[in-house]
A and B are shown apart, each in its own frame.
Chain A
Amino acid sequence: GAGVSQSPSNKVTEKGKDVELRCDPISGHTALYWYRQSLGQGLEFLIYFQGNSAPDKSGLPSDRFSAERTGGSVSTLTIQRTQQEDSAVYLCASSELAGGAGELFFGEGSRLTVL
Protein backbone atom coordinates (compact mmCIF):
# COMPACT_ATOMS: atom_id res chain seq x y z
CA GLY A 1 0.00 0.00 0.00
CA ALA A 2 0.98 3.60 -0.39
CA GLY A 3 0.47 4.71 3.20
CA VAL A 4 1.57 3.77 6.71
CA SER A 5 -0.12 0.60 7.86
CA GLN A 6 -0.68 -0.35 11.50
CA SER A 7 -2.00 -3.54 13.00
CA PRO A 8 -4.06 -4.50 14.83
CA SER A 9 -6.47 -1.60 14.44
CA ASN A 10 -8.14 -2.59 17.70
CA LYS A 11 -6.85 -4.69 20.55
CA VAL A 12 -8.63 -5.55 23.78
CA THR A 13 -6.53 -7.33 26.36
CA GLU A 14 -6.58 -8.21 30.01
CA LYS A 15 -4.39 -6.49 32.55
CA GLY A 16 -1.06 -8.26 32.84
CA LYS A 17 -0.95 -9.61 29.29
CA ASP A 18 1.69 -8.65 26.73
CA VAL A 19 0.77 -6.95 23.46
CA GLU A 20 2.61 -6.30 20.19
CA LEU A 21 1.71 -3.46 17.87
CA ARG A 22 3.07 -3.39 14.33
CA CYS A 23 3.86 -0.54 11.98
CA ASP A 24 4.65 -0.79 8.26
CA PRO A 25 6.02 2.59 7.16
CA ILE A 26 6.00 4.03 3.68
CA SER A 27 8.65 2.30 1.61
CA GLY A 28 11.95 4.17 1.64
CA HIS A 29 11.12 6.35 4.65
CA THR A 30 14.15 6.44 6.92
CA ALA A 31 12.49 7.99 9.97
CA LEU A 32 9.82 6.30 12.06
CA TYR A 33 8.03 7.62 15.14
CA TRP A 34 5.73 6.13 17.73
CA TYR A 35 3.27 8.30 19.67
CA ARG A 36 0.33 7.52 21.88
CA GLN A 37 -2.83 9.53 22.35
CA SER A 38 -5.24 9.11 25.21
CA LEU A 39 -8.86 10.21 24.80
CA GLY A 40 -9.07 13.99 24.50
CA GLN A 41 -5.33 14.43 24.93
CA GLY A 42 -2.43 15.41 22.70
CA LEU A 43 0.15 13.13 21.14
CA GLU A 44 2.74 11.83 23.57
CA PHE A 45 6.12 11.04 22.00
CA LEU A 46 7.39 7.53 22.67
CA ILE A 47 10.36 6.74 20.42
CA TYR A 48 12.10 7.84 17.22
CA PHE A 49 13.94 5.55 14.80
CA GLN A 50 16.43 6.58 12.16
CA GLY A 51 16.95 3.49 10.09
CA ASN A 52 17.15 0.62 12.57
CA SER A 53 18.61 2.63 15.43
CA ALA A 54 16.72 4.68 17.99
CA PRO A 55 18.47 7.99 18.69
CA ASP A 56 15.70 8.93 21.07
CA LYS A 57 13.66 6.56 23.21
CA SER A 58 13.14 9.07 25.99
CA GLY A 59 9.37 8.93 25.76
CA LEU A 60 8.94 5.26 26.62
CA PRO A 61 6.97 5.43 29.90
CA SER A 62 8.60 2.47 31.65
CA ASP A 63 10.71 -0.61 31.10
CA ARG A 64 7.52 -2.49 30.20
CA PHE A 65 7.66 -0.69 26.86
CA SER A 66 10.13 -1.61 24.13
CA ALA A 67 10.35 -1.13 20.38
CA GLU A 68 12.47 -2.36 17.56
CA ARG A 69 12.80 -1.76 13.86
CA THR A 70 14.25 -4.24 11.40
CA GLY A 71 15.49 -3.87 7.84
CA GLY A 72 14.91 -0.15 8.03
CA SER A 73 11.25 -0.92 7.61
CA VAL A 74 8.76 -2.64 9.93
CA SER A 75 8.64 -1.61 13.56
CA THR A 76 7.11 -3.39 16.52
CA LEU A 77 6.11 -1.75 19.81
CA THR A 78 5.80 -4.24 22.65
CA ILE A 79 4.07 -3.58 25.95
CA GLN A 80 4.66 -6.17 28.65
CA ARG A 81 2.37 -6.76 31.63
CA THR A 82 -0.18 -4.25 30.37
CA GLN A 83 -1.87 -1.90 32.83
CA GLN A 84 -5.15 -0.03 32.49
CA GLU A 85 -3.30 3.28 32.08
CA ASP A 86 -1.74 1.87 28.90
CA SER A 87 -5.13 2.16 27.20
CA ALA A 88 -4.75 4.65 24.34
CA VAL A 89 -4.41 4.94 20.59
CA TYR A 90 -0.86 4.15 19.51
CA LEU A 91 0.10 6.07 16.38
CA CYS A 92 3.02 5.35 14.09
CA ALA A 93 4.37 7.87 11.59
CA SER A 94 7.13 7.74 9.00
CA SER A 95 9.06 10.44 7.22
CA GLU A 96 11.31 10.53 4.19
CA LEU A 97 13.71 12.88 5.95
CA ALA A 98 15.59 12.15 9.16
CA GLY A 99 16.18 14.58 11.98
CA GLY A 100 12.64 15.87 12.23
CA ALA A 101 12.89 17.90 9.05
CA GLY A 102 10.20 16.28 6.97
CA GLU A 103 6.47 15.70 6.87
CA LEU A 104 5.16 12.92 9.08
CA PHE A 105 2.73 10.48 7.50
CA PHE A 106 0.61 8.74 10.11
CA GLY A 107 -1.08 5.39 10.16
CA GLU A 108 -4.64 5.12 11.42
CA GLY A 109 -3.43 3.90 14.79
CA SER A 110 -3.87 0.87 17.00
CA ARG A 111 -6.50 1.36 19.68
CA LEU A 112 -5.50 -0.55 22.81
CA THR A 113 -7.97 -1.23 25.60
CA VAL A 114 -6.71 -2.89 28.75
CA LEU A 115 -9.47 -4.32 30.92
Chain B
Amino acid sequence: RKEVEQDPGPFNVPEGATVAFNCTYSNSASQSFFWYRQDCRKEPKLLMSVYSSGNEDGRFTAQLNRASQYISLLIRDSKLSDSATYLCVVPGSSNTGKLIFGQGTTLQVKP
Protein backbone atom coordinates (compact mmCIF):
# COMPACT_ATOMS: atom_id res chain seq x y z
CA ARG B 1 0.00 0.00 0.00
CA LYS B 2 1.28 3.45 -0.85
CA GLU B 3 2.02 5.76 2.10
CA VAL B 4 -0.59 8.21 0.87
CA GLU B 5 -3.11 8.06 -1.97
CA GLN B 6 -5.44 10.61 -3.49
CA ASP B 7 -7.82 10.56 -6.42
CA PRO B 8 -6.14 12.97 -8.88
CA GLY B 9 -9.48 14.05 -10.39
CA PRO B 10 -10.05 16.48 -11.97
CA PHE B 11 -13.24 17.36 -10.15
CA ASN B 12 -15.25 19.79 -12.26
CA VAL B 13 -18.06 21.41 -10.28
CA PRO B 14 -20.33 24.44 -10.71
CA GLU B 15 -20.09 27.44 -8.42
CA GLY B 16 -22.00 26.87 -5.21
CA ALA B 17 -21.54 23.10 -5.23
CA THR B 18 -20.29 21.05 -2.32
CA VAL B 19 -17.31 18.81 -3.07
CA ALA B 20 -15.36 16.35 -0.96
CA PHE B 21 -11.92 14.79 -1.33
CA ASN B 22 -10.52 11.78 0.48
CA CYS B 23 -6.97 10.76 1.12
CA THR B 24 -5.91 7.36 2.47
CA TYR B 25 -2.70 6.75 4.41
CA SER B 26 -0.81 3.66 5.52
CA ASN B 27 1.00 4.76 8.69
CA SER B 28 -1.40 3.89 11.52
CA ALA B 29 0.86 5.68 14.02
CA SER B 30 0.49 9.04 12.27
CA GLN B 31 -0.52 11.91 14.51
CA SER B 32 -0.34 14.99 12.30
CA PHE B 33 -2.27 15.48 9.09
CA PHE B 34 -2.61 18.48 6.82
CA TRP B 35 -4.30 19.77 3.70
CA TYR B 36 -2.27 22.08 1.45
CA ARG B 37 -3.43 24.03 -1.55
CA GLN B 38 -1.27 24.53 -4.64
CA ASP B 39 -2.17 26.99 -7.38
CA CYS B 40 -0.81 26.46 -10.88
CA ARG B 41 2.98 26.98 -11.00
CA LYS B 42 3.04 28.18 -7.38
CA GLU B 43 4.37 26.68 -4.19
CA PRO B 44 2.01 24.79 -1.84
CA LYS B 45 0.49 26.64 1.08
CA LEU B 46 -1.17 25.28 4.20
CA LEU B 47 -4.95 25.21 3.96
CA MET B 48 -5.68 23.57 7.28
CA SER B 49 -4.44 21.06 9.80
CA VAL B 50 -6.60 18.02 10.49
CA TYR B 51 -7.47 17.34 14.11
CA SER B 52 -8.80 14.12 15.57
CA SER B 53 -12.11 15.73 16.44
CA GLY B 54 -12.48 17.29 13.02
CA ASN B 55 -12.21 20.98 12.38
CA GLU B 56 -13.93 23.66 10.36
CA ASP B 57 -12.69 26.92 8.89
CA GLY B 58 -15.41 28.83 7.12
CA ARG B 59 -16.51 26.81 4.10
CA PHE B 60 -13.85 24.15 4.68
CA THR B 61 -14.17 21.12 6.93
CA ALA B 62 -11.45 18.55 7.54
CA GLN B 63 -12.05 15.19 9.17
CA LEU B 64 -9.95 12.24 10.25
CA ASN B 65 -11.09 8.63 10.28
CA ARG B 66 -8.44 6.64 12.11
CA ALA B 67 -10.25 3.31 11.85
CA SER B 68 -10.27 3.44 8.07
CA GLN B 69 -7.08 5.50 7.83
CA TYR B 70 -8.27 8.36 5.72
CA ILE B 71 -8.66 12.10 5.96
CA SER B 72 -11.22 14.16 4.11
CA LEU B 73 -11.71 17.73 2.99
CA LEU B 74 -15.18 19.14 2.37
CA ILE B 75 -15.66 22.44 0.54
CA ARG B 76 -19.10 24.01 0.71
CA ASP B 77 -20.46 26.72 -1.57
CA SER B 78 -17.55 26.43 -4.01
CA LYS B 79 -16.10 29.64 -5.42
CA LEU B 80 -14.22 30.14 -8.67
CA SER B 81 -11.20 31.01 -6.53
CA ASP B 82 -11.24 27.53 -4.99
CA SER B 83 -9.92 26.13 -8.28
CA ALA B 84 -6.55 24.62 -7.39
CA THR B 85 -4.85 21.34 -6.53
CA TYR B 86 -5.43 20.08 -3.00
CA LEU B 87 -2.65 18.03 -1.43
CA CYS B 88 -2.98 15.86 1.62
CA VAL B 89 0.12 15.52 3.79
CA VAL B 90 0.87 12.73 6.25
CA PRO B 91 3.94 11.61 8.22
CA GLY B 92 6.10 8.95 6.61
CA SER B 93 5.90 5.39 7.92
CA SER B 94 9.44 5.56 9.24
CA ASN B 95 8.35 8.17 11.81
CA THR B 96 11.53 10.16 11.28
CA GLY B 97 9.78 13.48 10.84
CA LYS B 98 9.47 13.37 7.08
CA LEU B 99 6.18 14.46 5.57
CA ILE B 100 4.74 12.77 2.50
CA PHE B 101 2.56 14.63 0.04
CA GLY B 102 -0.23 12.97 -1.88
CA GLN B 103 -0.19 13.49 -5.63
CA GLY B 104 -3.00 16.02 -5.27
CA THR B 105 -6.62 16.34 -6.33
CA THR B 106 -7.39 18.96 -8.94
CA LEU B 107 -10.55 21.01 -8.49
CA GLN B 108 -11.99 23.18 -11.23
CA VAL B 109 -14.94 25.34 -10.25
CA LYS B 110 -16.90 26.62 -13.24
CA PRO B 111 -19.33 29.55 -13.48
Instruction: Assess whether B45 is interfacial by the CB under 8 Å rule.
Output: yes
Q: Which residues of B contact A35 (CB under 8 A)?
A: 101
Which of A41, A59, A101 contacts B98, CB < 8 Å? A59
- B46 close to A100 (CB less than 8 A): no
Interface residues as binary, B39-55 with A (CB distance below 8 Å gives 1, 0 otherwise): 00011111001000000
Residues of A within 8 A of B (CB): 31, 33, 35, 41-43, 45, 48, 50, 55-56, 58-59, 91, 98-101, 103-104, 106-109
- B103 close to A48 (CB less than 8 A): no
Which residues of B in the span 62-111 have a Cβ within 8 Å of any Cβ on A? 87, 89, 91-92, 94, 96-104
Instruction: Assess whether B32 is interfacial by the CB under 8 Å rule.
Output: yes
- A31 close to B100 (CB less than 8 A): no
A42-B104, A55-B97, A58-B98 given; A100·B43 CB < 8 A: no
Tell me which of B44, B45, B104 has the highest count of chain A C-beta atoms within 10 A of its own C-beta.
B44
- A91 close to B96 (CB less than 8 A): no
- B43 close to A106 (CB less than 8 A): yes
Give A108 to B45 CA distance when docked, in angstroms.
Answer: 11
Q: Which residues of B contact A98 (CB under 8 A)?
A: 97
- A100 close to B97 (CB less than 8 A): yes
Query: Distance in Å from the Cβ of B61 to the closest Cβ of chain A?
Result: 19
A42-B87, A58-B94, A106-B45 given; A100·B99 CB < 8 A: yes
Give A45 to B97 CA distance when docked, in angstroms.
Answer: 12
A41-B103, A45-B101 given; A100·B91 CB < 8 A: yes
- B32 close to A100 (CB less than 8 A): yes
Q: Which residues of B contact A41 (CB under 8 A)?
A: 103
Q: Which residues of A contact B100 (CB under 8 A)?
A: 45
Q: Which residues of B contact A56 (CB under 8 A)?
A: 92, 94, 96-98
